[in-house]
Amino acid sequence: MSAVLEQAESATPTPQAPATTDGWHLVIDALKLNDIDTIFALPGIPITDFLRISQAEGMKVISFRHEQHAGNAAAAAGFLTQKPGICFTVSAPGFLNGLTALANATTNCFPMILVSGSSEREIVDLQQGDYEEMDQLAIAKPLCKAAFRVLHAEDIGVGIARAIRAAVSGRPGGVYLDLPAKLFAQTMDAAAGKKSLIKVVDPAPKQIPAQDAVQRAVNLLKHAKKPLIILGKGAAYAQADEDIRALVERSGIPYLPMSMAKGLLPDNHSQSASAARSQVLAEADVVMLVGARLNWLLSHGKGKTWGAGSQKEPGQKKFIQVDISPTEADSNVAIDAPVVGDIGSCVAAIVAAMGPDWAKAPSDWTSAIADKREKNQAKMAETLAKNPVPMNFHSALNVIRNQVKARPDAIVVNEGANTLDFARSIVDMYEPRKRLDVGTWGIMGIGMGFAVAAAVVTGKPVIAIEGDSAFGFSGMECETICRYNLPVCVVVFNNNGIYKGTDVNPTGGKDAAPTVFVKDARYEMLMQAFGGHGVRATTPAELEAALTEAVKSGRPTLINAIIDETAGTESGRITSLNPNAKKK
């Protein structure tokens, strides 16, 4: 048995000592028992040997250059697979570096487990100054769904089982697991060790909605004159793709995908209202949220966006909310029909309750949306066809748009401000869970971690559409991409800075303005430094040639796309959130 450290055979014919196992092997065996085969990590005391042994035992170990990116990779793997992504870090500083990813995963409802080695409890608790001393459990607790510590080898099975259940059941999220250095070297009888491990049965149990809740929702939909469905990343995560398609198509209701729900139905679907977003949000009378929260990304369900007078006022809408979290309803505005359960079960129950004779959404509503959509799409097509010098966001993104259309199985990772906002609306997605981005926080730094996970977990080509600032947060992971030879093509939208490259120091002093970078930085050389391919592209034709080749070859590539430094706007599409805009 792999988990067993065989005792050295003694020369004397004394009875053989019983086979033993240890903390290292028990952790690995517990993960394997639960079908977890990949670990994202950064080595050091006390986890170096753990990672070595993991690899020796057949685990895939992806080793990063900074823990935040290992953590982000684990989170993305969790989102894509519904299994908790696993990230291992060293104590205090490594743990803290991973913590941003853990908190971000929790915010986004992605299941992951951050496992950090920790220093000696006795010394930490008396604050006697151990190597990398920190009370990690206490610090992690408020930033994740659950936090556990295992002190004894015989509890490793329970610890891992609890961490898995906490991460994936109900609303998914991040879990912290604290493993003190001493635990790894503890030994116990191998048979007892094996017995102590738990294979988690039904880790994310279905949650069936109550029939009266379903009926309440269906009644609202039935009498709606201007119904709208909003699909969020919870709907993408749920992998209930066929049920969701049935709901949309059987009801005939227009739908809006939130950014990571793009592709759940193809973006060119006739019922997509993306190109008429402002109109449908303002005018809809019944809105059904499926795995989407009414947070800032949806203007909290209030204000002009929703057809109300003031920013504090809710619109005159009825809301249905399908969500696994019973406390999500009423978080911002009153929810008239909460349907609590897992999305697959809820949506299937709603479709069943609609029955076979459901009258499709009123045609005056759907045709008004279709008109608006056609007009806006025609306008967009005109803009995309232009070929300005230098390139702007549109002409460069048009190239990526065409590439994704040709390779709908490719995964798009996207971060930045203008680079994010334009890519979200220009690059159509055709398949579920193919778009990973800055999520609920609008966080910069997810780029290379998400790209590595997407490539490792799916084996599909990855196109990372990165603002030059955004890319900087994780750029060193280009080495990781090259080291594992991953099919990742990073396209850096290089406009010499944050939002724009045109700011100047108002004092006339020699320090650059805070939002601008070195002009004409050669980002492509970063990939070349590690043996990957680097291309500087100044025209859509150059970008297209390089991107097509990268996706075809699967070779790690970075394309430095030179974008007009005047083309962006402050904060992209969220200019209004700047305090200065509020003052005005």
Residues near ligand ADP, by CB under 6 A:
108-109, 171-172, 232-234, 237-238, 258, 260-261, 291-293, 295, 297, 323-325, 328, 342-343, 440
> Which of 442/554 has CB closer to ligand TPW?
442
Alpha carbon separation from 415 to 146, 474, 541, 548 (Å, rounded)? 28, 11, 23, 21
Query: What residue type is 189 in one-letter code?
Result: D
Residue selected from 467, 472, 487, 572 as contacting Mg ion according to rule CB under 5 A = 467
Nearest to 198 by CA among 160, 236, 153: 160
Nearest Cα neighbor of 175 from 105, 122, 259, 108 is 105
Residues 273-292 that bind Mg ion (CB under 5 A): none
The encoded tokens of residue 548 equal 């097509």
Interaction of residue 468 with Mg ion, rule CB under 5 A: yes
Q: Which does 491 bind (CB under 5 to 8 A by kind): ligand TPW, ligand ADP, Mg ion, none?
A: none
**Contact partner, 362, from ligand ADP, ligand TPW, Mg ion, none, Cβ < 5-8 Å per class:** none
Q: Residue 310 has which token pair? A: 């003031």
Minimum Å gap between C-beta 389 and ligand TPW is 19
Are 68 and 101 a contacting pair, CB within 8 Å? yes
Instruction: List all residues 6 or more positions away from 224 whose beta carbon is below 8 Å from its beta carbon.
Output: 285, 286, 318, 361
Residues 244 to 303: which contact ligand TPW by CB under 6 A? none
The 440-469 contact track toward ligand TPW, x by CB under 6 A, reads: --xxxx---------------------xxx
Q: Does 481 bind ligand TPW (CB under 6 A)?
A: no
What is the rounded CA–CA span in Å between residue 253 and residue 229? 7
| Nearer of residues 444 and 456 to ligand TPW, judged by Cβ | 444
The distance of closest approach from Cβ of residue 470 to Mg ion in the complex, given in angstroms and rounded to an integer, is 8
Is 97 a binding residue for ligand TPW by CB under 6 A? The answer is: no
Closest contact distance (angstroms) between CB of 236 and ligand ADP is: 8
Minimal distance in Å, beta carbon 410 to ligand TPW? 21
Least spacing, CB of residue 209 vs ligand ADP, in Å: 10
Give the pairing type, strands 20-22 and 187-189. Answer: antiparallel
Nearer to ligand TPW, 168 or 567 (CB): 567
Q: Near Mg ion by CB under 5 A, which window of 84-92, 162-170, 465-473, 524-532?
A: 465-473
**What would the DSSP string read from start to end of 82-96?**
SSPEEEEE-SHHHHH
Q: Round to whole Å and give the CA distance between 249 and 269.
A: 10
| Site stretch for ligand TPW (CB under 6 A), options 70-78, 85-93, 359-367, 439-447 | 439-447
Binding marks (x or -) toward ligand TPW, 560..579, rule CB under 6 A?
A: --------x---x-------
d(CA 529, CA 534): 9
Question: What is the DSSP secondary-structure string of 106-170?
Answer: HHHT--EEEEEEE--HHHHHTT---TT---HHHHHGGGSSEEEE--SGGGHHHHHHHHHHHHHSS
C-alpha–C-alpha distance, residues 567 and 383, integer Å:
13
Within residues 491-520, the interface with Mg ion by CB under 5 A covers 495
Q: Specify whether the CB–CB gap between 323 and 344 falls below 8 A.
A: no
Give the span between the Cα atoms of 462 and 317, in whole angstroms: 39
Q: Smallest gap, in angstroms, from Cβ of residue 238 to ligand ADP?
A: 4
Nearer to ligand TPW, 283 or 421 (CB): 421
Cβ 198 to ligand TPW shortest distance, Å: 37
Contacts of residue 321, Cβ cutoff 8 Å, sequence gap at least 6: 288, 289, 294, 328, 329, 335, 337, 338, 339
Binding mask 485-524 for ligand TPW (x = CB under 6 A): --------x-x--xx-------------------------
CB-side exposure of 140: number of CA atoms within 13 Å? 34
State the residue number with the nearest CB to ligand ADP. Answer: 234
Give the residue at shortest CB distance from ligand TPW: 467
Of how many residues is the chain composed? Answer: 584
Which among 113-121, 297-305, 450-458, 466-474 is the span making contact with Mg ion, rule CB under 5 A?
A: 466-474
| C-alpha of 94 from chain center | 21
Strand order in the sheet with 146-149: 60-63, 38-41, 85-89, 112-118, 174-180, 146-149
344 contacts ligand TPW (rule: CB under 6 A):
no
Taking the complex as a whole, the smallest distance from the CB of residue 495 to Mg ion amounts, in Å, to: 4
Q: How far is the CB of 557 from Mg ion (least distance, A)?
A: 20
In the list Mg ion, ligand ADP, ligand TPW, none, the entry touching 292 (Cβ below 5 to 8 angstroms by class) is ligand ADP
**Greatest Cα pair distance in the chain:** 92
Query: Which does residue 328 bind out of ligand TPW, ligand ADP, Mg ion, none, counting CB within 5 to 8 angstroms by kind?
Result: ligand ADP
Look up tokens 């203007």; give the residue.
Answer: 299
When the beta carbons of 115 and 465 are compared against ligand TPW, the nearer one is: 465
Which region among 212-220, 233-241, 254-262, 417-425 touches ligand TPW (by CB under 6 A)? 417-425
- Asked if 459 contacts 484 with a C-beta cutoff of 8 angstroms, the reply is no
Q: Smallest distance from the beta carbon of 204 to ligand ADP, in angstroms?
A: 7
d(CA 572, CA 493): 14
Nearer to ligand ADP, 255 or 523 (CB): 255
Query: Between residues 396 and 453, which has the closer beta carbon with respect to ligand TPW?
Result: 396
CB of 258 to ligand ADP, least distance (A): 3
Q: What are the tokens at 106?
A: 């929790």
Is there binding between residue 418 and ligand TPW (CB under 6 A)? yes
Centre a 10 Å sphere on the Cβ of residue 60 and count the other Cβ atoms it contains: 13
Nearer to ligand ADP, 237 or 471 (CB): 237
List interacting residues with ligand TPW (CB under 6 A): 416-419, 442-445, 467-470, 493, 495, 498-499, 568, 572
List interacting residues with Mg ion (CB under 5 A): 467-468, 495
